[in-house]
Chains A and B, each alone.
Chain A
Amino acid sequence: MVTAAPASLLQPRLAQLNADYARALDDDRLEDWPGFFGDPCLYVITTADNHRQGHAAGVIYADSPGMLHDRVAALREANVYERHTYRHLVGLPAIVGESDGLVRAETPFLVVRIMRDGRMDLFATGRYLDVVVDAHGVLLLRERRVVCDGNRFDTLLAIPL
Chain B
Amino acid sequence: MELHWTYFGFEDDDPAMERRRLKQANLVGPAGYVSMEDGCVGGFVQRGAAAAGDHVSVVNMGGDGAESQETRATEASVRGFWKAYRRYMGY
Binding site for B on A (CB under 8 A): 45, 56-63, 67, 74, 78-82, 152-158
Contact = CB atoms under 8 A, between A and B. Distances in A.
A59 B39 CA distance: 14
Contact count band on B = 20 to 34
A154 B2 CA distance: 9
B40 A61 contact: no
Nearest to A60: B31
Contacts, number: 59
A158 B31 contact: yes
A57 B22 CA distance: 5
A59 B25 CA distance: 7
A80 B21 CA distance: 24
B67 interface: no
Contacts of A157: 29-31
B42 interface: yes
Contact of B40 (A60, A63, A81): A81
A156 B39 contact: yes
A152 B30 CA distance: 10
A59 B30 contact: yes
A158 B36 contact: yes
Given A61-B26, A155-B39, A78 B33 contact: yes
Given A81-B36, A81-B40, A67 B23 contact: yes
B19 A63 contact: yes
Contact of A155 (B18, B26, B30): B30
A152 B2 CA distance: 8
B56 to A, nearest CB: 24
B37 A80 contact: yes
